[in-house]
Structure 1
Amino acid sequence: MSRQEDAAADRNEVEATDKEYVFGTWAYQSEVDPTQVERADGVRFTTADGEEYLDLSGQLMCSNLGHSADAVADAMAEQAREAAYVAPNYTTDARARLGELLAEVTPGDLSKTFFSTSGTEAVEAAIKIARFYTGKQKILSRYRSYHGATAGSISVTGDPRRLAAEPGVPGAIKAPDPYAYGSTLDPMESLDYIDEMLMLEGDTVAAVLVEPIVGSNGILVPPEEYLPRLKEIAHDHGALLICDEVMAGFGRTGEWFGSDVFGVTPDIMTMAKGLTGAYAPLGATVVTPEIADHFEDEMLCHGHTYAGHPVACAAGVAAIETYREQNLIERASETGEYLGQRLEDLADAHPSVGDTRGVGLFRGVELTKREGEREPFGHRSDKVSKGTTVVDEVAARAADEGVYVANMINTLIVAPPLTITEEEVDEAVAALDAALDVSDAAMDD
């Protein structure tokens, strides 16, 4: 019996039905093998076969509040009973209040928001707003980036998942990343490259779009001076700075937003995921007063049926209140320091750990085939290829040990709910300790 036949035989009715009728995302459908989750609580979730897992990646790096944010669930239910949906030309207390709260928690003078339903839609709105405001068309982003799956956002995405969608939306240009081990350029030298790119493009670039800390392409943390200097360079060339905070936002870094880590206020900020703790699909694009004022007498030619959906906005309000009431931002900073040290302990114990990096509860463990060298097991092409890698096998072994950890290319993505305790960190690290034996054994002699 083949591996696929074995998997089919093991599926329950729900999993088999899902496999037959629902597309799996970013996958060859022959390799999709859905697992039914029956319940989730705290930092754990349980599958239909009774297996319980500690959620070390917050599902898709989005369950910042964990799986027991009752105040968010209650707010959604209450709003659904009061008014589940109103057209965007109406408003609700939830939408107005959430806009006000975002003006309070975002950095600097960011103050006016367009609400959508996902991170990719938030980026689409940011691209259009930047183009409308500047009158220019080009968007400069970076190669190790992910900004979404819709036409505009996949075009400005750098990772190889964009290739199948090309030629994409015109005007997307790519720059190098602040990643010393994946480029011939030093991180700060990459800024000189961007400066030259903007000069050579002439006055045609509307915005520079970056993740302050790159997420699904490896948890890449730039030098402290990188983002402030990037903003200066963008403005020197008449371009805006857009920060994509979909993954780094809402406490993940031990600050409200990744931009806060570097003391930078972007011109436009996008967010989703942690905005509701993933309890409801909601994206947001927040701009400065100068950009907002532009649209007083110029049309904001953009909209959605579900813009400012009342139930989603109610979830957002309750989520922000929960972050504040439970001091989760500060807690993420403190627990993140402990997590970082425990991951360093793993690096000391396992020669296949080439690097650990990150901020707060947003960390990555990158693997290597050769001790003391940067020889990855996984490559960019693996994101669009069939089969499994050694990094996949490490994640699978962690699951056998009761811990779910996502992996992207060559890096284990460690981004647990902000509610995780030090004891739960220890439990997770023990599972990773066992799992990394897999990569140790696979190293080149």
Structure 2
Amino acid sequence: MPERESQIESNPNEIERTDKEYVFGTWSYQKEVSPTQIVDADGSRFTTADGNEYIDCSSQLMCSNLGHSAERVVDAIEEQVQKTAYVAPNYTTESRAKLGKKLAEVTPGDLSKTFFSTSGTEAVEAAIKIARFYTGKQKIISRYRSYHGATYGSISVTGDPRRLASEPGIPGTIKAPDPYAYGSTLDPMESVEYIDEMLELEGDTVAAILVEPIVGSNGILVPPNEYLPRLTEIAHDHGALLICDEVMTGFGRTGEWFGCDVFDVEPDIMTMAKGLTGAYQPLGATIVNSELAEHFEENMFCHGHTYAGHPTAVAASLAAIETYQEENLIERASEVGEYLGDRIDELAEKHPSVGDTRGVGLFRGIELTKHPEMRVPFGERDDKISAGTTIVDEVSATASDNGVYVANMINTLIIAPPLTITENEIDTAMEAIDVALDVSDDAMSTD
């Protein structure tokens, strides 16, 4: 592994200093913000202003599914800008119409009509409103270990502690337990039956259950195969809709088109973003089944955005989906994902601080522990809203010092590289993470 200067200790350049002074860093105490300038990116790698190159082992924010050199997408954006950069939402473009049809083809079941926005949080906002419009009910059940976005409705249905500063949020949001075998008092299937009881006790007032099929930034939580089918059954038995938030799990991340495909489930509403364009343009989407679509023929769809269906964004998305299809990237993610999973399991056998490994496809998590028998985490939920760094942060920083970018959330390293990553690049990344895990091994409890 080449030696390099720690990103945490590096001296900022003029661009980094200017950014820190004039731009808010997200989800952070501003005194701790230390932006790093990226000057180039190609494939599964990016280069910073100090000349260091990194393997992007988390696809930035789990969104650069196509890597950093998808020329077809770049060309589509350029071509659209040359034609027209913007049209009002009451007009359309060829790409918007074709993308709507394409999403109806690649999404499961009867999902058929889409509202386009500019981000995952906006896609969730639309889903909440659609569920309420359609059912005439107000309550939304989501889960405690969840993230659905930063805008007011989306942060209200989010479970993780980042919601707390924005409370009270929108009314009618209720939190349920999660299918988290490693860190919960409930067995995963007990947790889903608990949701059944919640719906029973709430009476006929719940519009929808909103879940990530596989929880993303709260730990890569993969439920048992029977969990999501049972949850769908519970929702429909109580007259509620099932909303699947596929913002992070969509477009090949799990080795299937969508996370719900892993469990053969057809949601009533699906939200998506991130891999929708491979992050080449900001675009969110909310797709509904034909029954919901038909409802709005005679009932007002009371929602909209200035940039709904922005021409360059939908052109990028159409090109991205065509790239997934023509380069067989969904199937490839499944195959390469098995290799990644095997390599992660090898690290788990070597490092006692690895308490659990989870995931499917190219969506993997390494959860750390101070004491494996007692399952004591290094990172706690409150760390998301606290100042300072944790051992988990130090592990990620050490991986960065050795040329690999790895995001971490609470107590879990998130391994979610671009779908284009090679096995050789995975091997290189695992070498860096191997070194980084020595940090957590050394910090384990000795009693």
Q: Same fold (TM over 0.5)?
A: yes
What residue in structure 2 maps to residue 232 of structure 1? Answer: 233
User: Matched residue of 1:254: which SS?
Assistant: coil
> What residue in structure 2 maps to residue 267 of structure 1?
268
SS in 2 for 1:296: helix
- Asked if the contact 2:44/2:418 (under 8 Å) is kept, the reply is yes
Q: How does 1:119-138 map to 2 (within 5 A)?
A: 119-138=120-139
Native 8 Å contact 1:354 1:373 kept in 2 = no
Match of 2:184 in 1: 183
Cα contact 1:8–1:16 (8 A) shared by 2? no
Partner of residue 328, structure 1: 329
Match of 1:408 in 2: 409
Partners in 1 of 2:351 and 2:91 — Cα distance?
57
* Aligned counterpart, 2:395: 394
Q: Report sequence identity in percent.
A: 78
Partner of 2:246: 245
Matched, 1:44 2:49: no
Q: Which amino acid aligns with 2:328?
A: N
**Local SS of the residue matching 1:295:** helix
Distance 2:232 2:189 in 1: 13
Alignment of 1:35-434 (within 5 A): 35-434=36-435
| Preserved CA contact (<8 Å) 2:44 2:420 | yes
Shift of 1:371: 3.2
Q: CA 1:400 to 1:9, structure 2 compared with 1: closer, same or farther past 3 Å?
A: closer
- Deviation of 1:8 after TM superposition, in Å, equals 9.6
Separation in 1, partners of 2:165, 2:236: 33
Which whole-Å CA distance do the structure 1 matches of 2:304 and 2:264 have between them?
Answer: 31
How many equivalent residue pairs? 440
Deviation track 1:349-376 (CA, whole Å, cap 9, x = no partner) reads 0000001110000000000101333110
Corresponding residue for 1:437?
438
Alignment-mate amino acid for residue 200 of structure 2: M
| TM-score, normalised by the number of residues in structure 2 | 0.98
Please list the CA deviations of residues 19-54 of structure 1 after superposition, one character each: whole Å capped at 9, or x if unmatched: 010000000000000100001000000000001000
Q: Secondary structure at the match of 1:53?
A: strand
Please state if 1:22 is matched with 2:23: yes
Q: Structure 1 counterpart of 2:71, which letter?
A: D
Distance of 1:407 and 1:415 partners within structure 2 = 11
Question: What letter matches 2:333 in structure 1?
Answer: A
Which residue identity lines up with residue 190 of structure 2 in the other structure? E
Distance 1:9 1:228, change over 3 A: closer
Quote the Cα distance in structure 1 between the aligned partners of 2:158 and 2:244: 13
State the one-letter code of the partner of 2:24: F
Partner secondary structure for residue 188 of structure 1:
helix
**Partners of 1:41 and 1:144 in 2: CA distance:** 33
What is the distance in 2 between the residues matched to 1:81 and 1:14? 30
Q: 1:366-400 deviations in whole A, cap 9, x for unaligned?
A: 00101333110000000000000000000000001
Q: Secondary structure at the match of 1:178?
A: coil
User: CA offsets, 1:222-251, max 9 Å, x none?
Assistant: 000000000000001100000000000000
- Name the SS for the 1:112 alignment partner: strand
CA distance in 1, matches of 2:426, 2:9: 34
| Contiguous gaps of at least 5 residues in structure 1 | 1-5
Return the alpha-carbon distance in structure 2 between the equivalents of residues 198 and 39 of structure 1.
50
**What amino acid does structure 2 have at the position aligned with 1:185?**
L
Q: Tell me, yes or no, if the aligned pair for 1:37 and 1:47 is still in contact at 8 Å.
A: yes
Deviations 1:98-138 (A, max 9, x none): 00110010001101000000000000000000000000000
Letter in 2 for 1:302: H
Aligned to 1:3: none
The alpha-carbon deviation at position 419 of structure 1 amounts to 0.2
Deviation at 1:7, TM superposition (A): 7.3
3-state SS, counterpart of residue 10 of structure 1:
coil
Give the 3-state SS of the residue equivalent to 1:111 in structure 2. Answer: strand
Q: Which amino acid aligns with 2:235?
A: A
TM-score (norm 1): 0.98
SS at match of 2:297: coil
Q: 1:110 to 1:70 in 2, by over 3 A?
A: same
2: CA distance, partners of 1:182 / 1:241: 25
Supply the distance in 2 between the matched residues of 1:406 and 1:412 (Cα, whole angstroms): 6
**Deviations 1:5-26 (CA, angstroms, capped at 9, x unpaired):** x979811111011001000000
Aligned AA for 1:175? Answer: A
Counterpart residue identity of residue 335, structure 2: E
> Take 1:335 and 1:7, find their aligned partners in 2: how far apart are those partners?
31
| Corresponding residue SS for 1:182 | coil
Structure 2 residue identity aligned to 1:36: Q
Tell me: CA distance 1:79–1:409, structure 2 relative to 1, closer, same or farther (3 Å). Answer: same
Post-superposition Cα deviations, 1:302-352, rounded to whole Å, max 9, x if no partner, equal 000000000000000000000011100000000000000000000000000
**Contact 2:8 / 2:397 at 8 angstroms: preserved in 1?**
no
Take 1:295 and 1:416, find their aligned partners in 2: how far apart are those partners? 39
**1: CA distance, partners of 2:373 / 2:330:** 35
After the TM superposition, which parts of structure 1 deviate over 6 Å for at least 4 consecutive aligned residues?
6-9
